[in-house]
Structure 1
């Protein structure tokens, strides 16, 4: 309690640190939860991307088998000799089972439609300028997935072409077989995933061409987005996850992507950061203020405790001071004197130093009181107390009111000559006050002083030294007052009533 009261700043600071630590711990926990929320969203997105990728891989694998079968049939010369309906069934009979497959074509080396699944003829249509035709004409690239196109055969509907090269037996280019797949196929994949309103999902080609987007927009279909900063990482890696802001809406999203095996497709799921952290932010709005309030309360309580303890300690010290202080003169009282002289006696004994005591008495004070009144007598007592303190200036010196008009002075580490000098100084200081005293033989207020000095050798003797100083005071009064009488003793002074030799008188 005493230490707390003496160091309020340290206690308050420690309490503030504890409060701050609580706030920091809570905030660190909340930040960890934020990281976990992001990681959980990334994990869920990765699962959705895998679901989309598996579906795309399985279906496009089937489409590729259909194209391989059609390409083999197209290069067989015998196929051309078959009746048209049998030829179409041989080329595209298995295509009819595809839900989102619109058309199937066999295009010759010049780009003209040789055969279609529904048997329609397209005499005015030439497809040699399509990207899939150009790519397959140069070399065999396996199943080629085209950019979104508006079908010339289907009145401009959006679809993509899945194509394979038809190789003649001599290895030359024999044309292309292709299937047209409605983009609605990709959109139905998005129906299986749950993305927040600010999030998105899309499928694009590995050159950055957008095939399908959620939410749907005609503007997005076929757009070249490969140069966008948040798209570039997806084109340079097989899979991954990162956080980036959209180029146009500036919404931060968690992009999780994966390349679909054996295709040129990239599946992407991108929930927004706001959506991922919605629940976390609700907790943040509750727990962060609570932590701040709780931490502030702890800090404030620690400061209140520290200062209240300091006030309590100061009050206690004041009570202790009053308990050892004379109310009239503000000097130490008799109780404090007895404690101090015992302490100084033990210290002087351990250190082998001299200890001196002065006993001061105001001459003819009873007559002064009777003649001038007790109020003036009290003023004189206070003035004499100040005069004695003025002569004893060391911090280690102690001045106490012994009782009535008597005062005692304890002078630690003060030899005989020094004590006599201080006693003479006290006598002169009081005389210099010039207080009139009609019943004094000197006409002014004076004091008589007894002085006793010794170097303690035994544990007991402090009170004997005080009695010796009192005896010297009595001798000063007997000698005519207004003077100093002093003695130095070898060891503890004897009882003043005994007659023992002294070292110096």
Structure 2
């Protein structure tokens, strides 16, 4: 019957552990969510800053190119004037080049005839003898009427200076090719412009044309000028989008960056800033490690405290179970006491009523115990009661059997799911064990046993079972003691069975 005793409250302990772990996980999830939001804000701030910077640089470059383009347009329009070649060279120079841009990074403006020869130079009345028929800008304008402003890839002069050419077509009134007006811009202009910017250690800024040819890059590396980056991620978005952003690993130095790009005005130029992700999240990683360490420490402490609390709860539950066991145990015999017997009998009666299974009860009384107690003393009487308890405990082998001290020298044995014959065997085993003890201790008294076995019904109660077993015990006493008597209720067959 130990299985029917209160067990340690494992379910509340498990719930407590689950609650503690759940709280730690919720707190960790909350911190992770906050850290995620912080990372997103750092990313967004970096993206907004890069977008503003790229727009500013693109606007600066666009303004200078537009100014230079206006000078080229003025020369191209002036060349169409019929009297332009009839005026003096000095006056023609003023008419054609008075609006020419003169910034230090801008070269002279040249007028080329249909053969590519230099006919006019904005900085001298005696132009140098040179031919540019083999240059790409000349061939483009010679072949196409709609070329507009053409910006060439970078090229190197004989003095080792890196330039790009800006040119426009000169057309006759009938639209035929009449030559080219061309100027140059030193790449040092872009280099000086980029050098003024403050970049992170692994950040970059690049200017390239729409064909993917690098014009300038910061950090500066002369070997990168003229390099093709046509396979870069930016060309998967351009020209469908004139500006945008993306994250990728650089094809130049293999550093993973956030790139923000924008087209320079309507010119065939793109500018892109790359912000290294390590730089964007540098502060965030520091906060992550700090907050993560704090959360891990708090979570670890919480789990440790939870296990201590769980152990305390288990100890308390075990103590409560032990107290309940002691409260339901007879201190002298180690059997259940009367209170425990009544509780278990009520439970087994209800179970037998549901399952329609039999329930047997033995009522045992020590014969002539008062006389024995008066003769040998109370200590000897207690020893007899303890011996009877041992015989009962040793004879009830099933987990569901319950031996109990009913009161004084009376004992009870509750036998669920056992019929009369099975209960009779248990009763005889108790008598036989006591007989074996009496062979070595002749002063031990005998016992009388009353047996009752019911199948619980709605018309009966457990008190009827006790009354029937008690009546059978009464008959055993009056029939001469040291015997087992079966209650006549619902019984067919012999009324009693004596010891051999």
TM-score range, shorter chain: 0.7 to 0.9
Distance (Å, rounded) in 2 between the aligned partners of 1:261 and 1:425: 109
Alpha-carbon spacing, 1:225–1:328, altered in 2? closer, same or farther (3 Å) = farther
Q: CA deviation digits over 1:85-105, x for unaligned, max 9?
A: 221111111114546423222
Provide the residue aligned with 1:331 in structure 2: 335
The structure-2 alpha-carbon separation of the partners of 1:129 and 1:321, relative to structure 1 and needing over 3 Å to count, comes to same
- Shift in CA distance, 355/251, structure 1 to aligned 2, threshold 3 Å: closer
Could you tell me whether the CA contact under 8 Å between 1:18 and 1:299 is conserved in 2? no
Report if aligned partners of 1:5, 1:311 keep a CA contact under 8 Å in 2. Answer: no
The secondary structure found in structure 1 opposite 2:73 is: helix
Task: String of CA shifts for 1:407-429, please: whole Å, max 9, x gaps.
Answer: 22234576767655543443234
1:106 aligns with 2:100: no
Q: Which moved more, 1:106-115 or 1:223-232?
A: 223-232
Q: Which residue of 1 aligns with 2:391?
A: 387
SS in 2 for 1:201: strand
Asked if the contact 2:257/2:274 (under 8 Å) is kept, the reply is yes
Paired residue total: 485
1:322 Cα offset (Å) = 0.7
How much does 1:163 deviate? 0.9
- Which of 132, 135, 144 in structure 2 is aligned with 1:130? 135
Q: Aligned-residue CA RMSD in angstroms?
A: 3.8
Structure 1 unmatched runs, 5+: 491-503
Residue in structure 2 matched with residue 73 of structure 1 by the alignment? 78
Deviations 1:196-242, CA, capped at 9 Å, x for gaps = 22111121111112222222332233x22234444543655433211
* Alignment partner of 1:273 is 2:277: yes
Q: Where do residues 463-482 of structure 1 align in structure 2 (5 Å cutoff)?
A: 466=466, 469=469, 472-473=472-473, 475-482=475-482
Deviations 1:447-480 (A, max 9, x none): 2223456778778883x86577556545544544
Partner of 1:181: 185
Aligned to 2:91: 86
Alignment of 1:290-305 (within 5 A): 290-305=294-309
Contact kept in structure 2, 1:208 and 1:231, CA below 8 Å: no
Whether the 8 Å CA contact 2:448–2:473 is kept in 1: the answer is: yes
Which runs of structure 2 are paired with 1:46-445 in the superposition (5 Å)?
46-96=51-101, 98=103, 100-119=105-124, 121-140=126-145, 141-151=147-157, 155-190=159-194, 194-221=198-225, 223-230=226-233, 232-233=235-236, 237=240, 238-341=242-345, 357-363=361-367, 381-411=385-415, 422-439=426-443
TM-score by length of 2: 0.82
Change (3 A) 1:436 1:363: farther
Per-residue deviation at 1:393? 4.3
User: Which residue of 2 is the match for residue 499 of structure 1?
Assistant: none
SS for the counterpart of 2:202 is coil
Q: Which residue of 2 aligns with 1:27?
A: 32
Q: Please state whether the residue corresponding to 1:94 is helix, strand or coil.
A: coil
Q: Give SS of 1:212's match.
A: strand
Question: Could you give the per-residue CA deviations for residues 344-398 of structure 1, whole angstroms, max 9, x where no partner exists?
Answer: 6677789998765433233456777799898876665444323223444454442
Cα separation, 2, equivalents of 1:474 and 1:345: 23
Q: For residues 249 and 355 of structure 2, what CA distance do their matches in structure 1 show?
A: 82
Please give the alpha-carbon distance, in whole angstroms, between the structure 2 residues aligned to 1:456 and 1:67: 117
